[in-house]
Amino acid sequence: MPNQVYINGQLFAKEDAKVSVYDHGLLYGDGVFEGIRVYGGKVFLLEEHIERVYESAKAIRLEIPMSPEELSKATEDTVRANDIRDGYVRLVITRGAGSLGLDIRRTSNPQVIIIADTISLYPKELYEDGLQLVTASTIRNHPGALSPRIKSLNYLNNILAKIEATDAGTIEALMLNHKGEVAECTGDNIFIVKRGILLTPPKSAGILEGVTRNTVMELARKAGIAVEEAEMTRHDIFVADECFLTGTAAEVIPVVSLDGRAIGNGEPGPTTRKLLKLFRESTESV
């Protein structure tokens, strides 16, 4: 059982791994995080995740009190200490404890937390059958209010949309941006295939730039599939030939309907299947 949690250079038993109730991560959602996979004992795409967490931290003016190299090493050490072969790592960096009030100068001692645990995956049959999506009425955060590019501890925007998915009996919901364009899902990026071209919303649509998204785009290009970032509306998904989602937890998962309209022939398409295969191979070859 994994039960060793890293906090600021020390490993604690799970039940003793604690932060202050005055931590601004808890009081205000003031902090950043990452979700990373472990395959075969190896931390997958660690460098990319480390880079993103430093970028998220920079965007909220949070200085992570260690170097990227040190954080990478601490991540690998924590995975090893918990003997995780296939699992999940959660990095959390909070602003630290301080007096009440929003002023970041009232805080000190950011908490660098690393949890290495098992992962709960989407049901296996969904990779064969595809999942059904609904559009959430909750729109993605306006980038001018809180940029979705920051993977912050403030995930209520996504949680509200996820509640809508759950209420509708699905596991993911499509989120539109403030312009009504397709942005992403609550914890996954979205792709469509139209006339052989792979399309995904651009960063400017107000999305988290997924590490899996970038990897899949690269794998597709290497496989000779044309890839474009393009603004899209729900209509583009209704009339797409194929649709799938990407994410650290989901990997590549087919989508077969949106709001009750079948996408393509209502079954996972050949390009989706190919990219799922290529992605899984890439997790095995690291």
Active-site annotation holder among 18, 124, 151, 194:
151
Q: Verify binding: residue 247, ligand PXG, rule CB under 6 A.
A: yes
Binding mask 177-206 for ligand PXG (x = CB under 6 A): -------x--xxx-----------------
Residue of 211, 220, 240, 253 interacting with ligand PXG (CB under 6 A)? 211
Residue recorded with tokens 């970028």: 55
Residue of 208, 220, 232, 278 interacting with ligand PXG (CB under 6 A)? 208
Beta strands in the chain (DSSP E): 4-7, 10-13, 31-39, 42-43, 87-94, 112-117, 131-135, 173-176, 182-185, 189-194, 197-200, 227-229, 242-247, 251-258, 261-262
Q: Verify binding: residue 157, ligand PXG, rule CB under 6 A.
A: no
| Residue 99 beta carbon to ligand PXG: minimum distance, rounded to whole angstroms | 30
The CA-atom distances, in angstroms, between 100 and each of 6, 97, 216 are 26, 9, 43
CA distance 26 to 18: 12
| CA atoms 199, 202, 208, 212: torsion sign | positive
Q: Verify binding: residue 271, ligand PXG, rule CB under 6 A.
A: no
Tokens of 27: 């009081």
| Residue 45 beta carbon to ligand PXG: minimum distance, rounded to whole angstroms | 8
Q: Verify binding: residue 35, ligand PXG, rule CB under 6 A.
A: yes
Contact status, residue 258 vs residue 237, Cβ threshold 8 Å: yes
| Residue 248 beta carbon to ligand PXG: minimum distance, rounded to whole angstroms | 3
Question: Phi and psi at residue 14, in whole multiples of 5°?
Answer: -45, -45
133: Cβ contacts below 8 Å, ≥ 6 apart? 170, 172, 173, 174, 185, 243, 255, 257, 258, 259
Cβ-closest position to ligand PXG: 35
Answer yes or no: 151 catalytic. yes
Q: Verify binding: residue 172, ligand PXG, rule CB under 6 A.
A: no
| Residue 247 beta carbon to ligand PXG: minimum distance, rounded to whole angstroms | 4
Of 54-62, 69-77, 243-251, 258-266, the window that binds ligand PXG (rule: CB under 6 A) is: 243-251
| Residues lying near ligand PXG in the complex (CB under 6 A) | 35, 158, 184, 187-189, 208, 210-213, 246-249
Instruction: Supply the residues annotated as catalytic.
Output: 151
